[in-house]
Amino acid sequence: MPIQAIDIRLSLKKNSQAKVIEKEIKLMSMLDCFFSDAILEKLSGNFDDDIQMLKSEYAACANTVFAEFYETLIFRVYRAKFLIAPKMPNFRYKEYVDSQSQYFETCNELVEKLFDQQKAEQFYADALKYVAMKDYASAGASFYASAIEGNVNAQYNYGVSVYNGEVGEPDYLESAFWYLMASLGGNAKAMSNLGIQYRNGVGVKQNLNRMMYWYAKGAQMFMPSIVHDVGLVLANEEVEAFAGNASIGRAFLQAAYRLDEPDVREFVTDNTEQIIEALGDPEI
């Protein structure tokens, strides 16, 4: 029997949490406008020093509305350090980190053309050989070399290495960054892991809306475990924005075992699109 698609947006529109999401988005925009200049003045230009400074600020406001603002800034500095600056002569660091700057988008678009795909594939192949040998430190180094050339599978695997402490002390915020980069590149496992970090508040501020966003994005790739996770969240009404949709959650739980059926895939696609539309794309 085909699973019937149900319009999640109907419940969201009736739920006051929809207005809360809109307020959060507006608040983040206001914080960007009012605090970006002050934070930019604190940046020294040394990536590692600036990351530590921002992490300290982040920890100090972990339970406030400022946490997500600092989280986004840290991710931008990571992106600048690992992916952008090594590829671009005369890189304008502070302008890139500035959330109001078009330079940020310009650099991100340009650097994709500068990645060396051949190198990325070779380093990734080397990493897999090291994994087979259970030499995880060497594997992590090779995953990193591939990741900075834009290989999304390497970015995911390097995130795992960072999370597990295979390339130094575990750094859960940096692992979230690498999962984010891999997620933006379409890696479903990274979307799942990033969702888990947001769900549990590991390395990042707990944010069930972001958890749900990345679970929904991953489910669109028809990975059974993530489709199942979306079902659990909805069935248990864990996210206030989607309260009242337990029946849809139970349908997702069934769908996780029937993803070879076209009607089931259509159900997953339609409903995850509505979840993503309701939550909006996160600031990067």
pLDDT at 45: 86
User: Which residues of the chain does CATH 1.25.40.10 include?
Assistant: 115-206
| C-alpha angle 147-82-73 in degrees, rounded to nearest 5 | 120
pLDDT at 29: 53
pLDDT at 9: 45
Q: Please, are residues 74 and 39 in contact by the beta-carbon 8 Å criterion?
A: no
- pTM, entire model: 0.89
Burial 187-216 (b: 16+ CB within 10 A, else e): bbbbbbbbbebbbeeebbbebbbbbbbbbb
Superfamily of domain 115-206: Tetratricopeptide repeat domain (1.25.40.10)
pLDDT at 215: 98
Q: Please, are residues 123 and 146 in contact by the beta-carbon 8 Å criterion?
A: yes
Q: Please, are residues 162 and 175 in contact by the beta-carbon 8 Å criterion?
A: yes
Give the torsion sign (CA, 118, 120, 121, 127): positive
Which residues are within 8 A (CB) of 163 and not within 5 positions of it... i.e. 6 or more apart?
170, 171, 172, 175, 193
Gap between the Cα atoms of 164 and 267, Å rounded: 36
Residue pLDDT tens, the chain, 284 long: 455 544 444 355 445 455 545 555 555 555 554 456 777 788 888 999 999 999 998 998 888 777 888 898 899 999 999 999 999 989 998 889 876 678 988 999 999 999 999 999 999 999 999 999 999 999 999 999 999 999 999 999 999 999 999 999 999 999 999 999 999 999 999 999 999 999 999 999 999 999 999 999 999 999 999 999 999 999 999 998 898 899 999 999 999 999 999 999 999 999 999 999 988 887 67
Cα-flanking dihedrals φ and ψ of residue 84, to 5°? -100, -60
Residue type, position 86, single letter:
P
Gap between the Cα atoms of 105 and 208, Å rounded: 27
pLDDT at 281: 83
Gap between the Cα atoms of 38 and 115, Å rounded: 33
pLDDT at 18: 53
pLDDT at 8: 47
Residue type, position 281, single letter:
D
